[in-house]
Amino acid sequence: MNLPLKLSLFREYRIWTPEDVANELLMPIDDYNKLEKGKTKLNGIVAQQLSDLYRVPIEFFMIDDTPNYYQADVMYTNCSFSGGGSNGYINHQYNDRGIDEIIASKNSEIKTLKQQLETVQQQNNKFIELLGKNV
């Protein structure tokens, strides 16, 4: 589930308006609206505030588990491929930076996967510890 959807679902569950959440976070309503619409990236400070506000782990907001093929679809819609074979070119529809965006997206994906792996490893260690105490 992507961040904008998470934010709107949490807000609607609490029966809050975007203004209510912006006030709780002490941020301008325009900034919150951009965040909820996916036009602004989330930073650690706001992620922690959201975590405290909704009483959920911060990772819930930091990890975007939108399937990568959806993210790639958005990216590739803005790119065109010319040439052929291994010497083709990627041209971004707006500014010829398509390859940079793809690399940045993949680096972000790798970072997210590393965070998820670390979380799973920590949970596994806790499980093994608890299992050892109960045996």
Tell me what percent of the residues of the chain surpass a pLDDT of 90.
31
**What is the C-alpha to C-alpha distance for residues 134 and 123, in angstroms, rounded to an integer?**
17
* CA–CA distance, 35 with 11 (Å, rounded to integer): 13
Q: Specify whether 126 is located in the same domain as 72.
A: yes
106 lies in the same domain as 54: no
The answer to pTM > 0.75 is no
Q: How confident is the model at residue 97 (pLDDT cuts 50, 70, 90)?
A: very low
Question: How far is Cα 26 from Cα 15, in angstroms, rounded to an integer?
Answer: 18
Instruction: Return the structure tokens found at 16.
Output: 């809050």
What pLDDT score does 18 carry? 95
CB atoms within 10 A of CB 59: 13
Which pLDDT score, from 0 to 100, does residue 66 have? Answer: 52
User: Do 47 and 24 lie in a common domain?
Assistant: yes
Kindly report, residue by residue over 104-135, the tens digit of the pLDDT.
Answer: 778 888 888 899 999 989 999 988 888 887 76
Q: Per the structure, how many domains does the chain have? A: 2
